[in-house]
Structure 1
Amino acid sequence: MINKIDIRRTGWSLFILCLLFVGIQSCKENDSVSSDSIPNLGGYKPAGNPTIDAWIKKNLTEPFNVAVKYQYDPFEVDFMKNTTPAKEEYVIPTMELVKQCMVHPYLKNSDSAFVKRIIPKLWVLIGSGQYNDNGTVVLGQAEGGNKITLMDVNKYDKSRQFVQSSNYTVQHETAHILHQTRIFSPQFKYVNPEYYTTTWHNYPDKEAFDLGFVRNYAMASAEEDFVETIVYLLVFGQKAYDDLANKSTPAGKNRLKIKEQLVVEYFKDKWNMDFRQLQVDVQQGINGYIAGNQS
């Protein structure tokens, strides 16, 4: 009886091995792997638009060694978040905005060597914003001084609100590159260190104003505060900044004016640049762009 059980088990094992062998053989014979390139995994480059590519080459690549990636690649952003491609008709207007409202003002107040040094070499355009779980949205980001990602490109229009908002993102990421290249005075970090918080999004802008910040996001860290102060002064101008300070509390106004002075000194001491003139040139760039003047 024992011998019979052993024989049956042995026969059943052989049968299973034969099935596995046949299955492996059939996979080898019938399932072939395609040799076509897989998008975004190397060796693949989406076709560009000749008109767009020619404009980028003439206006950005040749003078400043800048590349613009407008073909959609989800791995350029957080691929766990839903984002959409940038529409081609908005690529040139978006980068023209960058050129007129950021590049040229800095060029006027320094030289081409400075601009080549601080301008990121890769610009990535994404059609939508990148939404976070806490309800905030990412509209741009800078990476190591070499790359800037601009999002929400598909909402493009020539209204003052959109142009200022878009330039705000551009100037914000550019200012990050500046302070990452040459650090700002430690004094800035001690103007109101007790109010920096990771839950900045829980504070209304009005409360942030009263505490001495240009908006709630500036409360995220001293670095963001420094950058936001620069950008508000450049994009909205001196009068808007003064109005904001005057509407704040006495303590908030004092902090805002101290931060303003530290920004002016930073540009003078670290970059030998007149920040007041840069303000004027950014404002002229914005107004000229909205009016349709080509730089």
Structure 2
Amino acid sequence: MKTIKFLLMAVVVALAAACSNDDVDTSRSIFQKGEAKADSTAFDKWLRKNFADPYNIRFDYLYIDQNSDMSYNVSPADIKKSIALAKIIKHVWLDAYTELMGPDFLKQHCFREFQLIGSAEYTSNGSIVLGFAEGGIRVNLFQVNALDPTHIYIEQTTPYGTSDAFDLNRAYFHTMHHEFAHILTQLKDYSTDFRGISAGKYHTADWVNVKDLNSGAEGFVTGYASSEYNEDFAEVFSCYVTDTDAMWQKRLAQAVTAANGDESGKKAILAKLSIIRTYLKDAWGVDIDKLRTIVLRRASEVSTLDLETLN
């Protein structure tokens, strides 16, 4: 009996020792364990230099379950792809606003946190969540693992996603400008005249059935814009800022009904853009056309960036 007890105790001690050696090294893991040590990696130091110090923005590339909707099954973001995306976001998004407005604009008004998720969130209605912001504090970006740093693709000709390539414009740039538009309008409201342009035409319950190719005829730049007027505002802003001129002109052309040449949809989109242009200038001092020029130039430069070296 004593021998059995001794053996059991030996097994317990051995198991305990084995378990103690299996603790995750959080400095290298894609999962967050408690509070990560500040500046524990070269990437952390780069993020502090380029996100935290100049903009007060935290960049979460490790998976933090509290920052994810637990009703979805998602995967963590790959570290190398997170580095590439962080450098892209800095060049195309952060530096674009800073070039136009100076360093304090985003520091004062931007969301405080990015959370990267490796996979997409698929909703019950068949749509994909490209990103979302919570209370103007954090923006979640998905599908990071679909990013291929060696084959960067940014759509230049059509706004309707006909290419099979992973389009950074649709996946990230459009989403970030869209969510930032929400932050700005929550801080300072825009003219109620905007709501009246498409009053009675919004598809609150069934917007997912409105295809982007058909939305223009009703006065919406995308199907999602038809969901309600706040989303409509953010979609017009983000589409205009990230569309090349060829893409924007195609949106307007699709808004003209081919059968009878009805331009009411096109006129509605242009009326919305006019209100947005005035709002940004009067409320924030932002020239949307200058911003667009900077964003498009910086987007065209992404393919020339070193997306691996942390300098």
TM-score (ref. length: structure 1): 0.81
Secondary structure of 1:193 counterpart: coil
Aligned to 2:188: 182
2:169 to 164, 173, 185: 164
Aligned to 2:259: none
Please say if 1:264 is aligned against 2:277: yes
Aligned to 1:213: 220
Aligned to 2:296: 283
User: Counterparts of 1:206 and 1:51 in 2: how far apart (Å)?
Assistant: 45
Task: Say if 1:135 and 1:228 are closer, same or farther in 2 by CA, change over 3 A.
Answer: same
User: Counterparts of 1:232 and 1:275 in 2: how far apart (Å)?
Assistant: 12
Please say if 1:86 is aligned against 2:77: yes
8 A Cα contact 2:132 2:141, kept in partner = yes
8 A Cα contact 1:163 1:290, kept in partner = no
What percent identity do the matched residue pairs reach? Answer: 27
How far off its partner does 1:237 sit?
Answer: 3.1
Please say if 1:173 is aligned against 2:179: yes
Number of equivalent positions: 260
User: Counterparts of 2:126 and 2:47 in 1: how far apart (Å)?
Assistant: 34
Task: Say if 1:293 and 1:259 are closer, same or farther in 2 by CA, change over 3 A.
Answer: farther
Any stretches of 5+ residues in structure 1 without a counterpart?
Answer: 1-33
Secondary structure of 2:200 counterpart: helix
How far off its partner does 1:293 sit?
Answer: 7.0
RMSD value, Cα: 2.5
Aligned to 1:66: 57
User: Counterparts of 1:106 and 1:44 in 2: how far apart (Å)?
Assistant: 34
Give per-residue Cα distances to partners, 1:69-121, cap 9 Å, x unaligned: 11112221210111110110111211222111111111122122211012211
2:251 to 244, 247, 252: 244
Between 163-172 and 277-286, report the one with greater CA deviation: 163-172
Q: Relative to total residues, which structure has the larger helix share, 1 or 2?
A: 1
8 A Cα contact 1:74 1:83, kept in partner = no
How far off its partner does 1:254 sit?
Answer: 0.7
- Residue pairs, 1:1-295, within 5 angstroms: 44-45=34-35, 50-157=41-148, 158-161=152-155, 162-165=167-170, 166-196=172-202, 197-249=204-256, 250-292=263-305
How far off its partner does 1:247 sit?
Answer: 2.9
Give per-residue Cα distances to partners, 1:149-173, cap 9 Å, x unaligned: 1111111131114221221111111
Spell out structure 1 runs of 4+ moving beyond 2 A.
Answer: 45-49, 237-240, 290-295
Larger Rg: 1
Q: Which amino acid is 1:279 matched to?
A: R
8 A Cα contact 1:97 1:167, kept in partner = no
How far off its partner does 1:239 sit?
Answer: 4.0
Give per-residue Cα distances to partners, 1:242-264, cap 9 Å, x unaligned: 33212322111110110111111
TM-score (ref. length: structure 2): 0.77
8 A Cα contact 1:66 1:123, kept in partner = yes
Task: Say if 1:275 and 1:286 are closer, same or farther in 2 by CA, change over 3 A.
Answer: same
Any stretches of 5+ residues in structure 2 without a counterpart?
Answer: 1-15, 27-31, 156-166, 257-262
8 A Cα contact 1:84 1:127, kept in partner = yes
8 A Cα contact 2:219 2:269, kept in partner = yes
